[in-house]
Amino acid sequence: MKMLIAYIETTMFPRNLGAGQLSGEVFSMSQTEVFTVSRFNDKAAADKIMGLMKDELKEISKGSKMTVLAGPLLIKG
């Protein structure tokens, strides 16, 4: 899992940030679970970044269970 986190932080996020992603964070839940949170200006930017990661995500998902959640996060106070 450490290799995956390092790859996301050193390869995927820097490239994605250069292509328009606003921010990204990796959270380690346990030795076998990790999740990422990425922010985008709009759906078009998110779709562009997801397109860049398409092949990488396919490769990662071969040996892992992966779920992609998409949509705006609305917090009402």
pLDDT in tens, 8-26: 999 999 999 999 999 999 9
Domain regions of the chain by residue span = 2-55
Tokens of 77: 């106070």
Query: Which amino acid is residue 34, in one-letter code?
Result: V
Tokens of 54: 């398409």
Helix, strand counts (H, E) of the chain: 3, 2
Distance CA 38, CA 51 (A): 14
Residue 38's alpha-carbon distances to 3, 9, 16, 77, in angstroms, are: 19, 12, 10, 22
pLDDT in tens, 55-77: 998 888 887 888 877 877 777 76
Distance CA 66, CA 52 (A): 17
